[in-house]
Amino acid sequence: MSKVVIGMSMSLDGIAGGTSEEDFYVIHEAVLGWVFGLRSWQAAQGMGGGEDTADSRIWQAEFDRIGAQIVGRRMFDYGYPHWGDNPPFHNPVFVVTHRPGERIGKDGGTSYTFVTDGLASAVAQARDAARGKDVLIAGGISIAQQALAGGLADELAVHVAPVLVGTGARLFDALGAAPIGLRPEAAQLGENATHLRYRVPK
Amino acid sequence: MSKVVIGMSMSLDGIAGGTSEEDFYVIHEAVLGWVFGLRSWQAAQGMGGGEDTADSRIWQAEFDRIGAQIVGRRMFDYGYPHWGDNPPFHNPVFVVTHRPGERIGKDGGTSYTFVTDGLASAVAQARDAARGKDVLIAGGISIAQQALAGGLADELAVHVAPVLVGTGARLFDALGAAPIGLRPEAAQLGENATHLRYRVPK
């Protein structure tokens, strides 16, 4: 059966996003900067460059196992104009939102389906769409926290950027169900990030 | 030249200690529980049990490279009655404090020296005492943060306990000098913790 994986990047001090317009770009670069130069990531964007590094191969392995993705509305609204006509997902994407909308089909295997009856429903729909592959909960922070607190995830993949940001929005916060015990399953050293994987007990 | 290593345990959500009497023991067990069953750790306490696991060997390797340790006054006051006549350090320990005191010699190679002129002075004295081995800044949280913000550490070793605690005192907080960029040097998977090592640029 396909697994549900929360996959997120954070700084070593646990910051995964900005809290204001001013710090957004600084934190975005600090936390996600490790992906932009990867050959695998650039290939998913339709670009032909980038470096074939350990980070790139780890990113590719995570991409290959995924058959559907879930994102929150804020992340969708921010990303949609940038993702273009051939978006980097190459899989069905389920957007958790309060605003209904028609399904949007794109090139390269990406579609956007708007789910208005909650994250658990999005997980169920994504499982069906993933054709036996795994489901990635890709963010933002609020959706990842809901998935953890709601017991909806089987795995947690955290890409730790080697920086202490000092300020911003924490990935693990407002966890109503904490403490949550995890089982460590992998720790991989990359050039510009450290990649941790945990099983989340049900 | 000997290196100065900050070595601390934290939960995956970055908690390294309690904030109140009530949560102290729960958080202490969640964050440090991975060490109490290790053969290497038990041997340092003068006990003969424990398990020879990956975590145990990683703990031993960190212990073997250390020739002197630095702790804060609060950690010293809490630990002193428990550490006994043959304390687990087996090395000179420098206590950063505002209250002067006579050096205390103990069995098994441990001594306690009270340093009243600041952390940088404690680092210099510990380097001299370490006989070419490395210096461990062992905590608490405040001393680790001072060492980072003050640029006094060469390395950062973080033992990540596989738990989301949800509340408590964060290891990386109040970092005046942030953002601080680090260089990832190791990521090791243990049974009950994940062990990350970073170089701290000067």
pLDDT tens by residue, A110-166: 999 999 999 999 999 999 999 999 999 999 999 999 999 999 999 999 999 999 998
Spell out a b/e string for A110-145, using b for 16 or more CB atoms within 10 Å of the CB, else e. bbbbbbeeebeebbbbbbebbeebbbbbbbbbbbbb
Say if residues A157 and A196 touch (Cβ distance below 8 Å). Answer: yes
Per-residue pLDDT, averaged over A61-77, amounts to 97
pLDDT in tens, A165-174: 988 999 998 7
Whether the CB of B196 is below 8 Å from some CB of chain A: the reply is: yes
Fold classified for B4-199: Dihydrofolate Reductase, subunit A (3.40.430)
Residues sharing a CB contact under 8 Å with residue B74, sequence separation 6 or more, in sequence order: B140, B142
Distance from CA of A70 to the nearest CA of B (A): 22
Contact criterion met (CB < 8 Å) for B182 and A12: yes
B38 touching A, CB under 8 A? Answer: no
* Most A-contacting residue of B8, B10, B13, B145 (CB-CB within 10 A), to test interface: B13
What pTM was estimated for this model as a whole? 0.95
Question: One-letter amino acid identity for A69?
Answer: Q
Q: Mapping DSSP to helix (H, G, I), strand (E, B) and coil, where does residue A182 land? A: coil
Distance (Å, whole) CA B44 – CA A80: 56
Tell me the residues of chain B between 114 and 153 that have a Cβ less than 8 Å away from chain A: 148
Rg (CA), chain A: 16
User: What ipTM is given for this predicted complex?
Assistant: 0.94
Q: Domain coordinates of chain B in residue numbers?
A: 4-199
